[in-house]
Amino acid sequence: MKKTTLITYGTFDMFHIGHLNLLNRLSNLGDRLIVAVSTDEFNALKGRQFARSLYVVKEMQKGETFTEETIRSIRPGYGLHPKHLGEVLGKRASKHLHKGERLAWEMLV
């Protein structure tokens, strides 16, 4: 009989009950479970695609004020870092901004 092998990987730096529950569920789906652990070096190499950044989530006119309804922290991480949200809120758009644009400093007045 053919055996089913599953593989999962992740960064388990702070292993918690959620990780344990995930591994238990996965182990019930196959005959073998291989768990690969990402290193800090690997995470640095994979880039910013899984990080978050600030994006425009609602069409904005030039001069319109940035609010929690117009920008959000979402993936990927190629825009302005979410730690700057407090600095962005209350500023105005320097130009017309389209929904889905990643936020950059030059878009703020």
pLDDT tens, per residue, the chain with 109 residues: 778 999 988 776 677 888 888 889 988 898 999 998 877 777 666 665 567 889 999 999 999 999 999 999 988 777 888 889 999 999 999 999 999 999 999 999 9
- Which of 3.90.79.10, 3.90.1150.10, 3.30.1540.10, 3.90.1210.10 would CATH assign to domain 49-109? 3.90.1210.10
The answer to whether the Cα torsion of 54, 55, 59, 62 is positive or negative is positive
3-state helix, strand, coil in the chain (%, to 5): 25, 25, 50
Q: Is residue 91 a contact partner of residue 68, using CB atoms and an 8 Å limit? A: no
- Model confidence, pTM: 0.56
- Looking at residue 75, its pLDDT comes to 80
| CA distances from residue 107 to 42, 60, 82 in whole angstroms, order as listed | 33, 11, 15
Q: Is residue 31 a contact partner of residue 5, using CB atoms and an 8 Å limit? A: yes
- Looking at residue 49, its pLDDT comes to 59
**Where are the chain's structural domains?**
5-45, 49-109
